[in-house]
Amino acid sequence: MRAREDLCHAGPKIEAVLTDLAVHSNVAPAAQHQALHVLGFLSKRGLNHALPGRIRVVRTDQKITVPVVMTHEEVTAVLSRIGGTAHVITKLLDGSGLRIMEVV
């Protein structure tokens, strides 16, 4: 698209780009959502032309991440291999739930 007039028929191109983000680039849902709003803002405020109609795109799936927690045996094995100040810091982190910068 090289001119404002090209934006009048840009709906399919915008849909293709946003769908490609979800299908091939595997971006986070927030990134795809932001890209849609950036294009809307650019066309409305920057080019003084609203996007054509409703943009229909394939949405990125929400990824559910489960936190990884070490078992008691794993923590004991790690603590047995650490000595000195690092040992004290690690035990504080394990026992108190503090963040690393709070302990340091």
- Please tell me whether residues 1 and 49 are part of one structural domain: yes
CA neighbor of 41 nearest in space, from 51, 28, 31, 55: 51
CA distance 31 to 67: 22
Q: Which amino acid, residue 6?
A: D
10-35 mean pLDDT: 79
- Please tell me whether residues 78 and 41 are part of one structural domain: no
**Whole-number pLDDT of residue 43:** 73
- Please tell me whether residues 53 and 78 are part of one structural domain: no
Greater confidence (17 vs 7) lies with: 17
- Which residue pairs from 90-94 have beta carbons closer than 8 angstroms and sit at least 24 positions apart in sequence? none
- Its pTM stands at 0.47
Residue range(s) defining the domain that contains residue 87 = 72-103
B/e letters for 72-94, b = 16+ CB within 10 Å, e = fewer, are: eeeeeeeeeeeeeeeeeebeeee
- Please tell me whether residues 55 and 87 are part of one structural domain: no
What are the tens digits of pLDDT across the range 44-101?
777 777 766 677 777 777 677 788 888 889 888 988 899 998 888 888 887 888 888 8
